[in-house]
């Protein structure tokens, strides 16, 4: 390694000269990539040797998504090489930022859930904790989004480059996963056990990614499985060609979130591949007896997608290691813990019994027995039929994965206080009463190393100049900024950084999407997956409202605002796609109206992903966190924006509640109904949006404009939207909350009138955001659930 810029330059030039004589950007990228990987490899080996030599308990985070974003620049940051490399390259006439842009981010996730897994990996390694990830290596990550006539189109994303493949592939560690087949009883010396005869084998090949902790000390492993055709004999009863076709496809693509499509059997195959391959890998040649798994291994399942780890671990212990049921169950339920991410009924995973029965016959028998034994114990406790039904894992021919996950794990957590309380009091009330000590809260977090240090180096530098560098290691020290929240020179510096980040975003948008934005306007940013509950519809309806006012009230001339949107809709989610079309259509109407465009501008950023988020978030002044209260389990975008000094306009939902608690409601724009009110309305089915429309001329007019298509010049068919608001009774309470939302926006304009006061509020948000670092979240998991010890320093 090198310690100075000069040394780096020498190193780099030698390498580049080794290959070809000219230094194109691509070659610079390759060289830098290789160099970083060599540095990483050294410490990676050392970390692995430590894990072997002094086996301490290890955590494995099972997740169907890891939305890691670009890695080159982040690795340089975590290795503390970023500045040296940047300056060295500058002197060689190369721009590091341009080199970084050559990396395609692997889209191995849909949104928050996958990004959380990535933030957790970063925090585990950075806190020097022995924690690794297991996931899948989808050939085609999440689709690339383009707009054609305002409609979302989806192109496959090919992110894998052959040259990066070779290093990561661990072909000697491949395992075989069994699908289909017949369960046979075998009576051996150790008792009765079961084998699977004539299964269809699929080979799972691991690809390893290094997870570089802060200061490059601990380097953990993210192991991603890829499905391949097995060399094992094929059962004579099945059609070979179909099988080869299918297995080669298991890890071909990432399933879109909220996917409503059929062909979900592939998704089930993915879930089992993840669980079976990872568990086989963990128990390959353990350095401890299987009876001691819980003392040596903790497994966290990220939502229910990896819940098959429960019956799969039971299968391995009983069938492969000849343990009895009770002992296997005791081990399993002391090893696995579960994180719940949603209470939306449609997102609660359920599988048809017959599907699992035919694809995974042995796993089905185990789930059935777990259910049977659990029900028996409940009956013995004298539970009512109603409670029994709610607590059953199998009900009316379907397997309820959330119940399986709760019953089979030792700890269950929600991801923000409000969400955990709703789980305990409503959605999982009976389960919580049955297992009163299982449920706990772990409010989500984000890694400040990506979302502040990497994404906003200018702000990070200002913070360090102001309070010293200790916040980098201890992000809760950001609260030391409080004493500068009224310091005029600091506030001016903050404003200058914000302005710079706005201009950088503008430059980027102009270059990539040919969009021109006024840097003096208020940057109001709404970025997240498109979903009814996230209420992008309410935002665009409010803009329609503003448009009408500007047109018809000549005294209403508000300060210029740019409304940014970013996000993808699941390809089969027609309502969400209609909202995307509506935003694009209204955008061209607003942006082309000579009067209105002086005040309102709409920018819809194509293909929202981690990389785009890193450009958008540092430039944000207003953060839209406007979900229907009770629906957003936590949110993490809200935290990233807060940490970068954006002010939140938001409902009392998810982690917003805790953010407001930290920063004080006077430093945010809180609006809308509370979770209890919403849930009351839902219970009584007493909300009737027609009454609102009839009693409110402004809303009535907007609805007419939509229904007749006049407002949008016939360019959209708003049927889906009108239907949801009327026939479906506005399930996300858009019309109910919209006036309260509009009032909060009025308050924003008033506050923005006083730039120093605005800056003060921004700084208070940054100062209060430290607790939302995922370092805090991970430390809490470790203390309360996993019980890990720090890896000794290798430096």
Q: How many residues bind ligand PLP (CB under 6 A)?
A: 11
Q: How far is the CB of 447 from ligand PLP (least distance, A)?
A: 11
Is there a catalytic annotation at residue 241? no
Which helix (H) or strand (E) segment holds residue 524: the answer is strand 522-527
Binding positions for ligand PLP, 448-477, rule CB under 6 A:
none
- Where are the alpha helices (H) located in 592-717, listed in sequence order? 610-619, 637-643, 656-663, 675-684, 689-694, 697-708
Kindly tell me which residue out of 414, 635, 689, 770 binds ligand PLP, with binding defined by CB under 6 A.
Answer: 635
Instruction: Give the rounded distance of the alpha carbon of 157 from its chain centre.
Output: 18
Q: How far is the CB of 153 from ligand PLP (least distance, A)?
A: 19
Tokens of 211: 């997870």
- d(Cα 580, Cα 536) in Å, to the nearest integer? 9
Kindly tell me which residue out of 88, 135, 306, 637 binds ligand PLP, with binding defined by CB under 6 A.
Answer: 637
Q: Residue 191 in contact with residue 324, Cβ under 8 Å? A: yes
In 86-212 the beta strands, taken as DSSP E runs, fall at 131-136, 140-148, 151-158, 175-179, 182-188, 191-197, 200-212
C-beta of 466 vs 662, nearer to ligand PLP: 662
By CB under 6 A, residue 111 contacts ligand PLP: yes
Helix axes 755-767 and 488-513, enclosed angle (nearest 10): 90
Stretch that binds ligand PLP, among 426-434, 491-499, 606-614, 671-679 (CB under 6 A): 606-614
C-beta of 157 vs 609, nearer to ligand PLP: 609
Is there a catalytic annotation at residue 674? no
* Separation of first and last alpha carbons in the chain: 13
Which helix (H) or strand (E) segment holds residue 240: the answer is helix 240-247
The burial class, CB within 10 Å (0-12 / 13-18 / 19+), for 264 is middle
Stretch that binds ligand PLP, among 108-116, 218-226, 254-262, 682-690 (CB under 6 A): 108-116
- d(Cα 132, Cα 51) in Å, to the nearest integer? 12
Pairing type for strands 600-605 and 561-566 reads parallel
Q: How far is the CB of 569 from ligand PLP (least distance, A)?
A: 13
Q: How far is the CB of 115 from ligand PLP (least distance, A)?
A: 4
By CB under 6 A, residue 63 contacts ligand PLP: no
C-beta of 522 vs 659, nearer to ligand PLP: 659
Binding positions for ligand PLP, 501-560, rule CB under 6 A:
528
What is the sign, positive or negative, of the torsion defined by CA atoms of 58, 59, 64, 65?
negative
- d(Cα 196, Cα 551) in Å, to the nearest integer? 71
**How does 75-109 read in b/e, with b if 16+ C-beta sit within 10 Å?**
bbbbbebbebbbebbeeeebebeebbbebebbbbb
Stretch that binds ligand PLP, among 220-228, 472-480, 492-500, 633-641 (CB under 6 A): 633-641
C-beta of 610 vs 716, nearer to ligand PLP: 610
C-beta of 636 vs 769, nearer to ligand PLP: 636
Which of these is catalytic: 438, 535, 599, 640?
A: 640
Stretch that binds ligand PLP, among 141-149, 605-613, 689-697, 714-722 (CB under 6 A): 605-613
Binding positions for ligand PLP, 114-173, rule CB under 6 A:
115
C-beta of 310 vs 610, nearer to ligand PLP: 610
Residues in the chain: 795
Is there a catalytic annotation at residue 223? no
- d(Cα 267, Cα 107) in Å, to the nearest integer? 17
By CB under 6 A, residue 206 contacts ligand PLP: no
Q: How far is the CB of 534 from ligand PLP (least distance, A)?
A: 7
- d(Cα 429, Cα 248) in Å, to the nearest integer? 42
C-beta of 146 vs 240, nearer to ligand PLP: 146
Tokens of 776: 């805090």
Residue nearest to ligand PLP as judged by C-beta position: 637
Which of these is catalytic: 454, 529, 542, 764?
A: 529
By CB under 6 A, residue 636 contacts ligand PLP: yes
- d(Cα 318, Cα 356) in Å, to the nearest integer? 19
Q: Residue 214 in contact with residue 128, Cβ under 8 Å? A: no
Stretch that binds ligand PLP, among 163-171, 295-303, 607-615, 689-697 (CB under 6 A): 607-615
Sheet hosting strand 622-625, strand order edge to edge: 600-605, 561-566, 522-527, 622-625, 647-650, 669-670
Kindly tell me which residue out of 247, 609, 667, 769 binds ligand PLP, with binding defined by CB under 6 A.
Answer: 609
Which of these is catalytic: 269, 341, 502, 764?
A: 341
Stretch that binds ligand PLP, among 154-162, 291-299, 433-441, 630-638 (CB under 6 A): 630-638
C-beta of 341 vs 438, nearer to ligand PLP: 341
- d(Cα 765, Cα 139) in Å, to the nearest integer? 40
Is there a catalytic annotation at residue 390? no
Q: How far is the CB of 71 from ligand PLP (least distance, A)?
A: 15
Q: How far is the CB of 668 from ligand PLP (least distance, A)?
A: 16
Kindly tell me which residue out of 196, 250, 610, 735 binds ligand PLP, with binding defined by CB under 6 A.
Answer: 610
- d(Cα 463, Cα 477) in Å, to the nearest integer? 11
- The set of residues, in sequence order, having a beta carbon less than 8 Å from that of 149 and lying 6+ positions away, is none
Sheet hosting strand 131-136, strand order edge to edge: 175-179, 200-212, 219-229, 131-136, 58-62, 297-302, 336-339, 411-414, 439-441
Stretch that binds ligand PLP, among 337-345, 462-470, 634-642, 698-706 (CB under 6 A): 634-642
Q: Residue 543 in contact with residue 565, Cβ under 8 Å? A: no
C-beta of 744 vs 759, nearer to ligand PLP: 744
By CB under 6 A, residue 226 contacts ligand PLP: no
Q: How far is the CB of 613 from ligand PLP (least distance, A)?
A: 4
By CB under 6 A, residue 112 contacts ligand PLP: yes
Stretch that binds ligand PLP, among 18-26, 635-643, 751-759, 766-774 (CB under 6 A): 635-643
Is there a catalytic annotation at residue 362? no
C-beta of 217 vs 637, nearer to ligand PLP: 637
Is there a catalytic annotation at residue 685? no
C-beta of 111 vs 672, nearer to ligand PLP: 111
Which of these is catalytic: 221, 636, 712, 777?
A: 636
Q: Residue 459 in contact with residue 645, Cβ under 8 Å? A: yes
C-beta of 83 vs 512, nearer to ligand PLP: 512
Q: How far is the CB of 114 from ligand PLP (least distance, A)?
A: 8
Q: How far is the CB of 111 from ligand PLP (least distance, A)?
A: 4
Q: Residue 534 in contact with residue 117, Cβ under 8 Å? A: no
Which of these is catalytic: 70, 383, 534, 568?
A: 534
In 534-638 the beta strands, taken as DSSP E runs, fall at 561-566, 600-605, 622-625
Residues recognised as catalytic:
341, 528-529, 534, 636, 640
Give the residues lining the site for ligand PLP (CB under 6 A): 111-112, 115, 528, 609-610, 613, 635-637, 640
């Amino acid at each position: 390694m090198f310690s100075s810029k000069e040394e780096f330059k020498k190193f780099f030039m030698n390498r580049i000269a080794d290959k070809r004589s000219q230094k194109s950007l691509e070659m610079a990228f390759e060289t830098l990539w290789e160099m970083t990987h060599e540095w990483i490899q050294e410490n990676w080996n050392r970390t692995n040797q430590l894990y072997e030599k002094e086996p301490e308990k290890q955590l494995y985070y099972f997740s169907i998504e890891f939305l890691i974003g670009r890695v080159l620049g982040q690795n340089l940051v975590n290795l503390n090489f970023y500045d040296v490399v940047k300056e060295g390259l500058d002197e060689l006439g190369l721009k590091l930022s341009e080199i970084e842009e050559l990396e395609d981010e692997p889209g191995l996730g849909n949104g928050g859930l996958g990004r959380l897994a990535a933030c957790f990996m970063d925090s585990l390694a950075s806190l020097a904790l022995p924690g690794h990830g297991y996931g899948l290596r989808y050939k085609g990550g999440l689709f690339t989004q383009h707009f054609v006539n305002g409609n979302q189109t989806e192109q496959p994303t090919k992110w894998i480059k052959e040259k990066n493949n070779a290093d990561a592939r661990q072909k000697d560690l491949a395992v075989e996963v069994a699908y289909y087949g017949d369960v046979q009883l075998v009576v051996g010396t150790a008792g009765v056990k079961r084998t699977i005869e004539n299964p269809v084998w699929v080979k799972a090949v691991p690809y390893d990614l290094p997870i570089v902790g802060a200061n490059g000390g601990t380097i953990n492993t993210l192991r991603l499985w890829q499905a391949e055709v097995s060399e094992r004999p094929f059962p004579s009863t099945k059609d070979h060609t179909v099988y080869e076709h299918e297995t080669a496809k298991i890890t071909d693509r990432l399933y879109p979130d909220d996917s409503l499509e059929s062909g979900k059997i592939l998704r089930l195959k993915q879930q089992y591949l993840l669980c079976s391959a990872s568990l086989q890998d963990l128990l390959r040649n353990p350095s401890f007896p299987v009876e001691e798994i819980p003392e040596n291994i903790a497994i966290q399942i990220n939502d229910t997608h990896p819940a098959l780890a429960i019956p799969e671990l039971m299968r391995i212990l009983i069938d492969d290691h000849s343990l009895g049921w009770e002992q296997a169950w005791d081990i399993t339920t002391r090893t696995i813990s579960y994180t719940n991410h949603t209470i939306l009924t449609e997102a609660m995973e359920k599988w048809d019994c017959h599907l699992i029965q035919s694809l995974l016959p042995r796993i089905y028998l185990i789930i059935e027995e777990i259910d049977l034994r659990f029900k028996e114990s409940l009956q013995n406790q004298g539970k009512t039929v109603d409670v029994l039904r709610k607590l059953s894992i199998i009900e009316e021919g379907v397997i309820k994965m959330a119940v399986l996950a709760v019953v089979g794990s030792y700890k269950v957590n929600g991801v923000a206080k409000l969400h955990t309380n709703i789980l305990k009091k409503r959605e999982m009330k009976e389960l919580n009463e049955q297992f009163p000590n299982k449920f706990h809260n772990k409010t989500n977090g984000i890694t400040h190393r990506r979302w502040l240090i990497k994404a906003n180096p200018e702000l990070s530098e200002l913070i360090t100049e102001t309070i010293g560098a200790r916040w980098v290691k201890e992000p809760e020290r950001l609260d030391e900024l409080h004493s500068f929240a009224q310091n005029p020179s600091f506030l001016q510096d903050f404003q200058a950084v914000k302005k710079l980040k706005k201009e950088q975003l503008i430059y980027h948008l102009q270059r990539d999407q040919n969009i021109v934005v006024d840097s003096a306007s208020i940057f109001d940013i709404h970025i997240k997956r498109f979903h009814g509950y996230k209420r992008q519809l309410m935002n665009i309806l409010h803009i329609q409202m503003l448009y009408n006012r500007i047109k018809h009230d000549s005294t209403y001339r508000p300060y210029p605002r740019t409304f940014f949107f970013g996000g993808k809709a699941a390809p089969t989610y027609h309502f969400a796609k209609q909202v995307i079309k509506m935003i694009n259509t209204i955008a061209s109407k607003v942006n082309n109206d000579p009067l209105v465009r002086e005040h309102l501008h709409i920018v819809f950023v194509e293909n929202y992903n981690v990389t785009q988020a890193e450009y958008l978030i540092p430039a944000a002044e207003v953060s839209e966190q406007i979900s229907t209260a009770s629906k957003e389990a936590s949110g993490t975008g809200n935290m990233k924006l807060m940490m970068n000094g954006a002010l939140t306009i938001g409902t009392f939902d998810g982690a917003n509640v805790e953010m407001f608690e930290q920063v004080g409601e006077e430093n945010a724009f809180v609006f809308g109904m509370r979770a209890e009110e919403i849930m009351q309305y839902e219970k009584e089915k007493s909300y009737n949006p027609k009454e609102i429309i009839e009693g409110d001329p402004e809303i009535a007019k907007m609805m007419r404009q939509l229904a007749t298509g006049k407002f949008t010049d016939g360019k959209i068919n708003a049927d889906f939207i009108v239907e949801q608001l009327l026939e479906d009774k506005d399930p996300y309470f858009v019309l109910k909350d919209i006036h309260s939302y509009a009032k909060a926006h009025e308050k924003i304009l008033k506050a923005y009138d006083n730039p120093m006061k605005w800056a003060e509020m921004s700084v208070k948000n940054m100062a209060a955001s430290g607790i939302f670092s995922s370092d805090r979240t991970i430390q809490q998991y470790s203390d309360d659930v996993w019980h890990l010890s720090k890896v000794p320093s290798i430096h």
